[in-house]
Amino acid sequence: MTDTVIKIDSLVKRYGELIALDHLALEIKQGEVFGLLGPNGSGKTTTINCLLSLLSYDKGTIQIFGKDMSPTAYDIKRDIGVIMQNVAVYDELTVQENIDYFCGLYITDKEQRKQYVEEAIKFVGLEDFRKFRPKKLSGGLLRRLNIACGIAHKPKLIILDEPTVAVDPQSRNKILEGIAELNRNGATIIYTSHYMEEVEQICTRIAIMDKGKKIAEGTKEELTAMIKNTETIKVTLHELPDEVLSEIRSLPHIYSAEVEDSTLTVSCSGGKHNLIRVLEILQDHDVHIGRVTTEQPTLNDVFLEITGKALRDKGE
């Protein structure tokens, strides 16, 4: 038996002139929490929709659980739980009835279904809201209901497309903890997001997408090891004479040093004592300094270095 859950090869999807997916290849193994990270419009949702046979595509192959995926592959679909970006529940049904409805699409045994629905309600923490209709729920609770509807039938593969967009921090944490628990209980997870921090937090392996292409793939550590930047030092200060800045730039292992908004930002590539050396120069020249921080590279740095642009706009 293969431990490959998903295998996508050379997937091409066009919308007229636009190439939304450009020869995409992905292989996802049993037990992974696989993150698809990319800015808006990079092709994450299109990938999921093709994967689920909700969208036709121009070229390529998709296999799930070792079998070819197609719109009528009901045996495969039974083992997949899908939580899409837009909440899809019935307004006229209560929380409990909604979960029961979606679970009932796969689980016909009444007693088993009752138990599964109860477990799903508890899992997302909606015990006190079981008789509520969706319109009475806050955005975060509604997202949790959406998740309960997608996972109640205990699928082996769970696909979540940006499940935390516009949710409050409490529900967000509940959702992220829940995903980790589903994974511990044996489910393979695909998680799409443009929030780098979430992907860093929960995903065991990550593919970074841009303009329909996979531009990098690996664990967080593998991805950050691919880039030149190993450390960024930030020092707040009032003023920095040009000759001092030049001296910092001439230090070994430092490939960029800039001052903007009273902050000196020094980017380092390797080396062990960069911070000490920078602070020594500042001290030697009596530069008055404020806060000093050092940061390890993030997935945003990986994206920035490969594409030349940030993963998302500041303030988003």
Q: Does 88 bind ligand ATP (CB under 6 A)?
A: no
Examine residue 271 and tell whether it contacts ligand ATP (CB under 6 A): no
Span interacting with ligand ATP, options 41-49, 142-150, 227-235, 306-314, rule CB under 6 A: 41-49
Instruction: For residue 164, state whether it binds ligand ATP (rule: CB under 6 A).
Output: no
Q: State in angstroms the smallest separation of the CB of 23 from ligand ATP.
A: 15
Out of 7, 42, 172, 198, the only residue in the binding site for ligand ATP (CB under 6 A) is: 42
Write the interaction track for ligand ATP spanning residues 212-251; mark x where CB under 6 A is met and - where it is not. ----------------------------------------
Backbone angles phi, psi at 64, to 5 degrees: -125, 135
Least spacing, CB of residue 125 vs ligand ATP, in Å: 27
Half-sphere exposure for 291 (CA within 13 Å, toward CB): 6
Decide whether 42 or 98 has the Cβ nearer to ligand ATP: 42
Site residues for ligand ATP, 182-201, by CB under 6 A, read: 194
Does position 267 interact with ligand ATP (CB under 6 A)? The reply is no
- Distance, C-alpha 255 to centroid of its chain: 30
For ligand ATP (CB under 6 A), the number of binding residues is: 12
Among 6, 11, 45, 149, binds ligand ATP (CB under 6 A): 45
Instruction: For the CB of residue 85, give the shortest distance to ligand ATP in the complex, in Å.
Output: 6
Min separation Cβ 211 and ligand ATP, Å: 8
Member of 44, 153, 154, 220 binding ligand ATP (CB under 6 A): 44
54 binds ligand ATP (CB under 6 A): no
Q: Which of 46, 229, 267, 298 binds ligand ATP (CB under 6 A)?
A: 46
Which of 5, 8, 11, 20 is close enough to bind ligand ATP by CB under 6 A? 20
Cα first-last separation, the chain: 44
Nearest distance from C-beta of residue 70 to ligand ATP, angstroms: 21
Q: What is the 3 state secondary structure string of the chain?
A: CCCEEEEEEEEEEEECCEEEEEEEEEEEECCCEEEEECCCCCCHHHHHHHHCCCCCCCEEEEEECCEECCCCCHHHHCCEEEECCCCCCCCCCCHHHHHHHHHHCCCCCHHHHHHHHHHHHHHHCCHHHCCCCHHHCCHHHHHHHHHHHHHCCCCCEEEEECCCCCCCHHHHHHHHHHHHHHHHCCCEEEEEECCHHHHHHHCCEEEEEECCEEEEEECHHHHHHCCCCCEEEEEEECCCCHHHHHHHHCCCCEEEEEEECCEEEEEECCCCCHHHHHHHHHHHCCCCEEEEEEECCCHHHHHHHHHCCCCCCCCC
Residue (16 or 308) nearer to ligand ATP, CB: 16
Contacting residues toward ligand ATP, per CB under 6 A: 15, 18, 20, 38, 40-46, 194
